[in-house]
Structure 1
Amino acid sequence: MAESVWTASYLEVTFRLFMAAMLGGLVGWERERNNHPAGFRTHILVSLGSALIMLISIYGFAEYMDEINVRFDPSRLSAQVVSGIGFLGAGTIMRHRASVTGLTTAASLWVVSGIGLAVGAGFMFGALLSTILVLVSLELLNRLESVWIKKKHLYIFHIIVADEPGKLGELASLIARFGGKIRKVNMEEQEEEEGEKTLEISFTVRLPDQIFIPHLIEEMRLLNGVRSVSSD
């Protein structure tokens, strides 16, 4: 047992650090199992480090509390974890085509840091309940989403086409036949080549998973007036 509210025994410190590592590891195991950027070890380290900083913030300066003009604020050091973890989370966010991935993993790191702070402060109920809710949201809701929500992805198509009336509508109709939904369109005039005016049209399109992209590109190329098609 701790002698006072501002001191903790070695046993209590050991218990809290092991709890932080275990709870962070549970969340990290789910991320690791699904092949996400930050996995088992990263989540353990974030949770463990956050718990340690919380322990230092509360108990690390107890010997100075009785000094004259000392103002003790146990939340000051730990508060920096909340902002500092953002730099680590940013490293898991990646852009692929027009889609952004890694946001969930970045959020899980942020939550795990909160769990570690809660364990370090001795708020075990909140830490345990948060871990359970995180695992439910990551695992169960992910399965429900894959069953009930038809996953679609964003693609950007760059098309060079003759500057003729109706070409934009033809391309939009073709995309719609493939089940695509146009999110953004950009058009730029190209320099004349051999007396012909051309346009570069960029479509940002959300397409279902089952669409074979090379097939759609080939259909675009077959349209009259289309000079080239590329995708990224």
Structure 2
Amino acid sequence: MDIFQAYWSHGELVANGIILLHLLGSLLTGVLLGYERSYQGRAAGMRTYGLVCMASTALTVIVAYPHLWYGGAAAGWSGSADPTRVIQGIVTGLGFLGAGVIMRESHSIRGLSTASSIWTTAAIGVTIGIGFYVAALAATALTIVAMVGLRRLEPILPHRTVTHLTVVFTRDKAPPAESIQVLARERGFEVVDWGYHLMNGAGQIEYKLALKTSGSPDTSRMVTELSATDGVMELHMTPSRI
């Protein structure tokens, strides 16, 4: 029973409390940094930045308390028994697993939040293995709050959305590129980039525009107007979000 009580000793609880403060501060810091990316309509947002920052803190701060690892049992170990080597292997292996769940679909990148949550789960597992149970439970709760709460909070906060528009016209009926840009601006979009492709074999002209707007835009009106334009062969309008 003494070994189990050692995991809940006064020194262990104090260290867990300090680790918890580190985790909370790093999560808030990551969320603030991620909001800037989320506001700009980038793929990695508040959840990704918050979880990565918190996981990095968890893997770093536990190294400050080697005398409390495994309920203090590690205090008398020789230098050859070093759990940090195992932690390095876990972090390296998780990099490959996280990369496997990140997918690019058209102009959107998906899976970043899943990858960061997997990495955070590994950090929580390491914290449990070391014996900091209170900090691990707190990190689990913070992760759930970040994954569920921030998902609902991000659309409410002021943000920008990048939308990619592709329109293919028959060559003889293609309007000037400037007219497409004017139509986008009249519908509240800012044209941040554009290009065109003349497909000689098919006798078609393809216009590609990157549009930015505040909030979540209503693209239905613009799609309706463009699809009714004479000469339109294809039309694609996709948001570039998580």
Taking structure 2 as the reference length, the TM-score comes to 0.54
- Contact conserved, 2:167 with 2:208, CA < 8 A, in 1? yes
Indicate whether 1:201 and 2:207 are aligned: yes
Specify whether residues 93 and 183 from structure 1 end up closer, same or farther in structure 2 by C-alpha distance, changes over 3 A only.
farther
**What's 2:117 paired with?**
108
**What's 2:157 paired with?**
148
Written as runs of structure 1 = structure 2, the 5 A alignment for 1:22-61 is none
Residues paired across the two proteins, number: 166
3-state secondary structure, aligned to 1:71: coil
- Contact conserved, 1:93 with 1:106, CA < 8 A, in 2? yes
Specify whether residues 80 and 219 from structure 1 end up closer, same or farther in structure 2 by C-alpha distance, changes over 3 A only.
same
1:220 corresponds, among 221, 226, 239, to: 226
Written as runs of structure 1 = structure 2, the 5 A alignment for 1:118-129 is 118-129=127-138
Q: Deviation per CA, 1:15-34: give whole Å up to 9, x if none.
A: xxxxxxxxxxxxxxxxxxxx
Q: Deviation per CA, 1:134-171: give whole Å up to 9, x if none.
A: 22222222222233346746334142364899711110
CA distance in 2, matches of 1:206, 1:97: 17
- Contact conserved, 1:158 with 1:201, CA < 8 A, in 2? yes
> In the alignment, residue 96 of structure 1 is paired with which amino acid?
E
**What's 1:230 paired with?**
235
- Contact conserved, 1:98 with 1:204, CA < 8 A, in 2? no
Indicate whether 1:77 and 2:82 are aligned: no
- Contact conserved, 1:98 with 1:156, CA < 8 A, in 2? no
Please, which runs of 5 or more residues in structure 1 have no aligned partner? 6-57
**What's 2:187 paired with?**
178
Please, which runs of 5 or more residues in structure 2 have no aligned partner? 7-68
3-state secondary structure, aligned to 1:147: coil
* 1:88, distance to aligned residue in structure 2 (A): 2.1
1:211 corresponds, among 196, 219, 223, to: 219
CA distance in 2, matches of 1:124, 1:192: 66
As a proportion of its length, which structure holds more helix? 2
* 1:74, distance to aligned residue in structure 2 (A): 1.9
Q: Deviation per CA, 1:45-88: give whole Å up to 9, x if none.
A: xxxxxxxxxxxxx99xx9xx88xxx9332211221111211222
3-state secondary structure, aligned to 2:218: coil
CA distance in 1, matches of 2:112, 2:148: 15
CA distance in 1, matches of 2:199, 2:133: 64
Structure having the higher Rg: 1
- Contact conserved, 1:186 with 1:202, CA < 8 A, in 2? yes
Taking structure 1 as the reference length, the TM-score comes to 0.56
- Contact conserved, 2:168 with 2:206, CA < 8 A, in 1? yes
CA distance in 2, matches of 1:210, 1:227: 21
